[in-house]
Amino acid sequence: MRPKGIYIESFGEDEPIVVLVGKLMPIAAMAQVTGPLSRRRQIIAIDLEGHGHRALQTRP
């Protein structure tokens, strides 16, 4: 189950590494790092609300 407001990508195999991208950076901005790492490790990359795949949600 994924918490509301979070987008998660997982790729690669073996021991996992969790990647939380920096301020205003989408997962795609980390491709130069996550691409090579995914050849040896599983990457779990997270976009928080308002970044990349997750548009900022309006709340009442």
pLDDT in tens, 1-59: 556 677 788 989 999 999 887 667 778 888 888 899 999 999 998 877 655 555 445 54
pTM over 0.95: no
Per domain, the residue ranges of the chain are: 6-48
9: nearest Cα among 50, 36, 20, 24:
20
Amino acid at 34: T
